[in-house]
Chain A
């Protein structure tokens, strides 16, 4: 008898160590689901097992039957009827109310081999707002035994640690993604600003060139005007300076007519300049 028992424990020990190593290789919730689906059946018998993880209002539920499994993430609404009771009471329970069992199984999408007659339930709180609600549906050929409880306990502790670490890595990943997003946002804004600055610079350069061009043109025009005025004016001055060296007769007969013509030339030059400035102002306005 003791050799049979020893043999049984050795099997269970090996199964647990296989479960642990498979779990430690899992990096996503779906890989955890596959691990549970493949390994839990070697630890104890069940019609259906539920592992419902929660942390700060976030829930991950694993359901497994001998031939299938699923994993769902979401809110407290994912909890089945009996899990709601366990979540409030914190007291381990064996429930055998057929109506409650039927009620609990209602949301399940998995096919159970036989009708369960008992639910073994635990609420394992690992901190104030985080824990695991575990329930085993037992019945028919697949009866859960009190001797299975310590083994389940070890499996649950392993599982909780794994889910927590996956969640942490996900959070870090999403934080990093957020940072990356913020960074690329900044980069984009930076690009936009750089573009604005470049456009502004181009506009300023263009305007400056335009102004420089206008300035040069203005200088040229004013230089031209000065020349146009100075030509007849210098003639008048010449006449005036030479006046004293000429006789009265020469002045009256030769110099005065020259002075009149030259004064007219000066007047013409001034009028021409005024009208050209007027024209420029009209087109500019």
Chain B
């Protein structure tokens, strides 16, 4: 699941990810409210979440997940290089990584690898169909 208010970012991520995994199912949202309401239905194995968004921002999204006990893994993908933001992420246990934009092919590669190792060690397989 991709959550970013910039459609272009989502588009780029989609392109990069679809080149890495042939059969990966990707749901992208520019409205975090809609994304959150779809969360139980989709139950994604991984969420790429932007922080700076109007209305409901990344923090609000994470808080709602925390309050309703949703444990889906999250990778923060933000243009904010602030160390304050980075430190704040530590208070959410389901956030497994914090990365700043710009995106590179290598970055996405390594992110996905991290995720896969994490899933194996946690005794879970990535939700690839």
State the A residues within 8 Å of B (CB).
Answer: 223, 227, 230-231, 233-242, 245-246, 250, 254, 258, 261-262
Contacts and interface: CB of A to CB of B under 8 A. Distances in A.
B12 interface: yes
A178 to B, nearest CB: 68
A235 B101 CA distance: 7
Contacts of A261: 8
B8 A235 contact: yes
B82 interface: yes
Interface in B80-129: 80-82, 100-105
A258 B7 CA distance: 10
Contacts of B46: none
A237 B9 CA distance: 11
A196 to B, nearest CB: 43
B80 A227 contact: yes
B57 to A, nearest CB: 11
A258 B9 CA distance: 9
B67 to A, nearest CB: 26
Contacts of B79: 227, 230-231, 233-235
A233 B81 CA distance: 13
A238 B82 contact: no
B66 to A, nearest CB: 24
Contacts of B11: 254, 258
Contacts of B15: 242, 246, 250, 254
B49 to A, nearest CB: 15
A-side interface mostly: helix
Given A242-B15, A242-B104, 9 more contacts: A223-B82, A230-B81, A231-B52, A238-B103, A242-B12, A245-B16, A250-B15, A254-B15, A261-B8
B10 to A, nearest CB: 11
B105 A258 contact: no
Which of the listed residues A236, A237, A242 has the most CB atoms from chain B within 10 Å of its own CB? Answer: A242
A79 B54 CA distance: 105
Contacts of B52: 227, 231
Given A238-B101, A238-B102, A242-B104, A230 B9 contact: no
Interface residues of B, number: 19
Given A227-B52, A227-B80, A234-B79, A258 B12 contact: yes
Interface in B1-44: 6, 8-9, 11-12, 15-16, 19
Nearest to A257: B8
A258 B11 CA distance: 9
A158 to B, nearest CB: 96
Given A230-B80, A231-B52, A258-B11, A237 B102 contact: yes
30 contacts: A227-B52, A230-B79, A230-B80, A231-B6, A231-B79, A233-B79, A234-B79, A234-B102, A235-B6, A235-B8, A235-B9, A235-B79, A236-B102, A237-B101, A238-B101, A238-B102, A240-B102, A241-B103, A241-B104, A242-B16, A242-B103, A242-B105, A245-B16, A245-B105, A246-B15, A254-B15, A258-B8, A258-B11, A258-B12, A262-B8
A231 B50 CA distance: 11
Contacts of B9: 235, 238
A31 B104 CA distance: 113
A238 B12 contact: yes
A237 B104 CA distance: 9
| Across the A-B interface, the 7 shortest Cβ-Cβ residue pairs | A237-B102, A234-B101, A238-B102, A234-B79, A238-B103, A241-B104, A231-B79
Given A227-B52, A230-B80, A230-B81, A241 B6 contact: no
Contacts of A238: 9, 12, 101-104
Nearest to A258: B8
